[in-house]
């Protein structure tokens, strides 16, 4: 989606903004670079942007490789980056100039992590660094020194669902469990030890919401709403969003909640990395939910 000049898209703690929105606020927001590799950041980044690795806030809590780190560790990273709970933070990524990697999800994953840990004004740069560059905006190699904050992480449990909740709620009338991975992974061609998807989950691939040419750029709202409606999200009383490791759901979750305004949407962060390691947790391969 090419947002109008200075237009903010969405509502709540996480929205999408165009480059003009950020360019009009020099020094007015903490800018976080989530490009795929540190060498991409060293090659080029938005002036003032602080590098935060996508995986910097993860730790193998309970052996789960996709879990978020303890709050003290999260707080330390975000304090060092200068993040403040009530101040605007803008997150972006790209296909790296050096690594030639990137799917756009580094930005949404980090943005979700900020909201999850108590940030109240988080913005994803629509179109990422590719759009910023294509509009002729300034890039730099200069590395800033952020002013450390006193950020104190807290978990927004109202946004989340755990395995027990998913087990209890899936299949109930009015409750929709979404799987946001690719159709191939949903049907059983993925990388997880147990193939397929959570029994009852409906497929809504994350790529339905972003353009093919630029995975950091949202599709038009009409396309997004049609994809969500086709999956049943627009008519559900409650939606639980899942994926494999928390990455693809980090895009779909805020789109449903903030852009489309669905009132009850929760994020199963453990997703299949958590579900599939439980031997008795039901899974199904193939194109059908059940």
Cα(224)–Cα(1) distance, integer angstroms? 10
SS3 of 5-29: CCCCECCCCEEEECHHHHHCCCCCC
Q: Which of 153, 243, 251, 265 is catalytic?
A: 243
Q: What are the angstrom distances between the C-alpha of 96 and each of 4, 36, 134, 196, 209?
A: 26, 6, 14, 31, 21
Tell me the pairing of strands 238-242 and 283-284. Answer: unpaired
Known catalytic membership, residue 243: yes
Helix, strand or coil for residue 2? coil
Pair 211, 219: CB distance under 8 Å: yes
Pair 14, 122: CB distance under 8 Å: yes
Q: What are phi and psi of 179, to 5 degrees?
A: -115, 115
Helix, strand or coil for residue 78? helix
Q: Is 141 exposed, middle or buried (0-12, 13-18, 19+ CB in 10 A)?
A: exposed
Catalytic residues: 243
């Amino acid at each position: 989606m090419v947002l109008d000049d200075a237009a903010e898209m969405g509502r709540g703690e996480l929205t999408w903004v165009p480059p003009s929105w950020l360019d009009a606020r020099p020094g007015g927001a903490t800018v976080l670079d989530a490009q795929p590799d540190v060498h991409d950041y060293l090659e080029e980044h938005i002036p003032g942007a602080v590098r935060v690795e996508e995986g910097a806030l993860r730790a193998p809590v309970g052996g789960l490789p996709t879990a978020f780190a303890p709050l003290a560790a999260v707080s330390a990273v975000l304090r060092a980056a200068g993040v403040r709970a009530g101040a605007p933070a803008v997150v972006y990524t790209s296909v790296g100039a050096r690594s030639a990697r990137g799917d756009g999800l580094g930005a949404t994953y980090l943005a979700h992590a900020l909201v999850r840990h108590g940030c109240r004004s988080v913005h994803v740069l629509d179109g990422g660094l590719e759009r910023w560059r294509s509009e002729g905006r300034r890039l730099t190699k200069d590395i800033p020194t952020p002013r450390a904050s006193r950020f104190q992480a807290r978990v927004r449990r109202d946004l989340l669902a755990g395995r027990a909740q998913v087990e209890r709620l899936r299949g109930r009338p009015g409750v929709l469990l979404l799987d946001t991975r690719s159709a191939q992974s949903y049907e059983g061609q993925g990388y997880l030890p147990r193939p397929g998807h959570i029994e009852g989950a409906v497929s809504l691939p994350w790529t339905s919401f972003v353009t093919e040419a630029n995975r950091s750029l949202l599709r038009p709202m009409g396309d997004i709403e049609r994809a969500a409606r086709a999956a049943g999200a627009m008519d559900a009383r409650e939606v639980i969003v899942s994926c494999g490791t928390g990455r693809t759901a980090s895009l779909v979750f805020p789109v449903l909640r903030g852009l489309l305004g669905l009132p009850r949407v929760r994020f199963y962060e453990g997703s299949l990395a958590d579900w599939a390691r439980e031997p008795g947790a039901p899974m199904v391969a193939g194109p059908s939910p059940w």
